[in-house]
Amino acid sequence: MTKGEPEPPEDQGNRNLENAVMLGFFAVLVAAGVWLLGSMADIRKVQDCAAQGRRNCATIEVPERAR
């Protein structure tokens, strides 16, 4: 090596692992945020329905019939 070139970092493998962990954490954080926003939207719809005085605001899930 010459004097003008910087030395490569010795912990490059550790840095790659840290980047992978941070990416995983960020992906989990984004997924949790999307789930939370969806839940809040569903709750808001039910609350808006109830605030209008309706009585059939809850969603009813009917299982499919087996043929």
Indicate the average pLDDT of the chain: 85
What digits encode the pLDDT tens for the residues 36-63?
Answer: 999 999 999 989 998 998 888 877 788 8
Q: How far apart are CA 56 and CA 49, in angstroms?
A: 8
Q: Is 63 helix (H, G, I), strand (E, B) or coil?
A: coil
Q: Which is more confidently placed, 51 or 15?
A: 51
Q: How far apart are CA 33 and CA 29, in angstroms?
A: 6
Q: Which two tokens stand for residue 39?
A: 């839940």
Burial of 35 (0-12, 13-18, 19+ CB in 10 A): exposed
pLDDT(14) > 60: yes
Question: Residue 26's pLDDT is what?
Answer: 98
Question: Residue 24's pLDDT is what?
Answer: 97
Question: Residue 1's pLDDT is what?
Answer: 52
